[in-house]
Amino acid sequence: MLGLMAARQAGLDDPERLRRAERTRSMLSGGSDGVIVLYDLENLSRKPSYTCKALFSVGRSHPDVHKFSVETVQWYPHDTGMFTSSSFDKTLKIWDTNTLQVTDKKYWQCRGPHVMNIFWQQEANTAHNGRVNGLCYTNDGLHLLTIGTDDRMRLWNSSTGENTLVNYGKVCNESRKGLKFSISCGCNPEFAFVPYGSTIAVYTVFTGELITMLRGHYSTVNCCVFQPHFQELYSGSKDCNILAWIPAPREPVPDDISEKSEKQKTNSQQQDYLLSSD
């Protein structure tokens, strides 16, 4: 990691956010100086400690560089030819990886004391009244979930940029840095796992329903990641613990059970989680 920091080009500060491309050898780095760097992770030296090569960078001289700290960098789920970044300069940018040019830019501009607008292909949609410090694509890449310091979470259509208007209610966001949250994969329905103080709030992505609050940490939760192969959730906190969460197993529902009871049991399954001791 020290070698990686040393290889950072045209940056004044250490990287704030790192994002590795799955199944490839590339990694994105976003810094508090607004600079974004793309690294090659291949270890040509075959040594246990090595310096990653910086392939390209969006430096301070780049016309589209972020003005302030880069809070999130995110690869598009199915194509590393595109990635997104968000910053404290109140912009969310979509980049072409091959050219490092912005293909689209979203501006958060105030139209009143409590309204912010996002411009996407010449259309204005209600967005966040504050900085956007968290974003995550759904597994299929069709939707983008964002979180702002206005305590709101928004679900966007990736193709049109439209706000789907899913109401998640108040989503407490006291973080003044990038907020790492996660979306499930292979669940029905899909869930969003959002750090909420010392707990983790579990929402249904497409209805906005708050399913449950996961309690187990003793201090602020900084991040969480969903592991689709084992259907497990991992969370990290300021209490220096990493917790693994698994859905609680339930007995099969009898065939002759009423439809009402089946629905109640399904809801109970969604709300019941066990905390692993790992």
145 with 186, same domain: the answer is: no
Read off the pLDDT band of 262 (50, 70, 90): low
Higher pLDDT, 68 or 108: 68
Return mean pLDDT, the chain.
74
pLDDT recorded at residue 261: 55
Element (H, E) at 260: helix 259-271
Asked whether residue 191 falls in the same domain as residue 148, the answer is no
268 vs 231 pLDDT, higher one: 231
CATH number at residue 204: 2.40.10
Q: How confident is the model at residue 5 (pLDDT cuts 50, 70, 90)?
A: very low
Any domain includes 24: yes
φ and ψ at 267, to 5 degrees?
Answer: -65, -35
Residue 107 belongs to a domain:
yes
DSSP string, 94-163: EEETTTTEEEEEEEEEEEETTEEEEEETTEEEE--SS-EEEEEE-TTSSEEEEEETTS-EEEEETTT--B
What does the pLDDT average to over 111-122? 34
Predicted confidence at residue 221, as pLDDT, reads: 92
Strand order in the sheet with 199-204: 182-183, 191-196, 199-204, 210-215
pLDDT of residue 108: 44
Q: Residue for token digits 């990694």?
A: 27
What is the model's pLDDT at position 140?
A: 85
Residue-wise pLDDT for 193-247, tens only, equals 999 989 999 999 999 999 999 999 999 998 899 988 888 999 999 998 989 998 8
Q: Is residue 77 part of a domain?
A: yes
In a domain, 273, yes or no: no
Amino acid at 9: Q
33 with 62, same domain: the answer is: yes
> Are both 65 and 14 inside the same structural domain?
yes
Q: Is pLDDT at 173 greater than 90 in this prediction?
A: no
Residue span of the structural domain in which 216 resides: 180-249
Based on the fold, state whether residues 141 and 206 are members of the same structural domain.
no
Determine how many CB atoms are found less than 10 A away from the CB of residue 72: 25
Task: Confirm whether 204 is domain-assigned.
Answer: yes
Total domain count, the chain = 2
Q: Are residues 132 and 156 in the same domain?
A: yes
Using the predicted structure, report yes or no on whether residue 121 has a pLDDT greater than 50. Answer: no
Whether 159 and 209 share a structural domain: no
Residue 11's SS3 state is: coil
Average pLDDT over residues 108-116: 35
Q: Are residues 136 and 194 in the same domain?
A: no
Residue 62: inside a domain, yes or no?
A: yes
CATH of the domain at 152: 2.130.10.10
Whether residue 144 is contained in a domain is answered as yes
Query: pLDDT value at position 118?
Result: 34
Whether residues 95 and 192 share a domain: the answer is no
Q: What is the pLDDT of residue 117?
A: 33
Q: What is the DSSP letter of 2?
A: H
Band of residue 152 on the pLDDT scale cut at 50, 70, 90: confident
Same domain, 14 and 50: yes
Asked whether residue 44 carries a pLDDT value surpassing 80, the answer given is no
Predicted TM-score (pTM) above 0.85:
no
Q: Worst-scoring range by mean pLDDT, 38-42, 202-206, 249-253?
A: 249-253
Give the up-direction half-sphere exposure of residue 140: CA atoms within 13 A in the CB hemisphere. 9
